Amino acid sequence: MSDKHWRKPARRPNRHVPRTPEQQESDTTEKLQKVLARAGVGSRRGLEKIIEEGRVLVDGKVAKLGDRVSGYEKIQLDSKKIICTPAQSKEAPRVIMYNKPEGEVCTRKDPEGRKTIFENLPKVLNGRWVAVGRLDINTSGLILLTTDGDLANKLMHPSSNIDREYRVRVFGKVDQPMIDRLLNGVELEDGMAKFTDISVDEEIDSANRWITVTLMEGRNREVRRLWESQDVQVSRLKRVRFGPILLPSKVSRGRSENCTEAQIKLLQKITSESK
């Protein structure tokens, strides 16, 4: 090829744009309240107040609202060490379904020495299990736990509008007017409460039967208190569903099973769509 036909190749534009120190920091750090929320300490909004109160230390120094951390620091809340997941971690959150037996409590450590649900859970390499709500000691059935405390808080928040379904064995007369009252709402000591659905298995005039109920909240002993407000005794109570997650029959009491990737994405979608 002659020199007159040769043209210098066009120079490709340099697509690499150097990042500022602030951009580099944002890639490896997150806001302190977000890291703490993921660790299951509380909600982001609640943690902002805690940080402002000077109750959080990062590497021995009082943290300020707006501080960013990587998760590798020594973080303490009220002098208690918090185990955090590093901001750089790309590991997807784990969610498990646990079939809680009666007699177990949902606290991490019980001062009375009773067995807790955390004793039967699989080990977590980084982080810890955070329970999505609680079941009282006499209630069995489904409880979700996740390694993402922020997700747990969102699932528990009323704005997520997640219903819970229970199987309850009651003793006492249950008639249609009573069912209507429980669906319309009754006044409890902490405000109005109601079931969104009631399904009676046996004849309605039977004195001892299984009933399936659904409600949108997770207040303390709410299912029991609703029935007790009608002078009906609850002898057995089991949660069988939390939102889209149904407790599989193959998961025996005291055992757990991983939620599928599709189930986890569905839970994340529910919380992202909530107002």
Helix axes 261-273, 149-156, angle to 10 degrees: 60
Q: End-to-end CA distance of the chain: give it in Å, rounded.
A: 68
**What 3-state DSSP class applies to 109?**
coil
pLDDT for position 20: 45
pLDDT for position 55: 93
What CATH number has the domain spanning 95-160+246-273? 3.30.2350.10
Residue 3 annotated to the active site: no
Q: Which two tokens stand for residue 8?
A: 């210098």
> 95 forms bridges with which residues in the sheet?
146
Q: pLDDT tens per residue, the chain (275 residues)? A: 444 444 544 554 444 444 444 444 445 888 998 888 888 777 788 899 999 999 999 999 999 998 999 888 899 999 888 877 776 665 678 899 999 999 999 998 888 999 999 999 998 876 789 999 999 999 999 999 998 888 998 898 888 889 999 999 998 888 999 999 999 999 999 899 999 999 987 665 566 789 999 999 878 899 999 999 999 999 999 999 999 999 999 999 999 999 999 999 999 998 887 65
pLDDT for position 140: 97
Q: Tell whether pTM > 0.95.
A: no
Domain range list for the chain: 21-81, 95-160+246-273, 164-242
The catalytically annotated residue of 136, 175, 180, 197 is 136
Any idea which architecture 21-81 has in CATH? Answer: Roll (3.10)
Long-range own/partner contacts, residues 27-33 (CB < 8 A, 24 or more apart): 28/70, 28/87, 28/88, 29/68, 29/69, 29/70, 29/87, 30/68, 30/69, 30/70, 30/71, 30/87, 31/66, 31/67, 31/68, 32/56, 32/58, 32/63, 32/65, 32/67, 32/68, 32/69, 32/75, 33/65
For the domain made up of 164-242, give the CATH fold: Pseudouridine synthase (3.30.2350)
- 95-160+246-273 and 164-242 have identical folds: yes
* 219-245 burial code (b ≥16 CB/10 A, e <16): eeebbbbbbebbebebeebbbbbbbeb
CB atoms under 10 Å from CB of 70, counted, come to 15
List Cβ neighbours of 265 (8 Å cut-off, separation of 6 or more). none
pLDDT for position 24: 43
pLDDT for position 219: 85
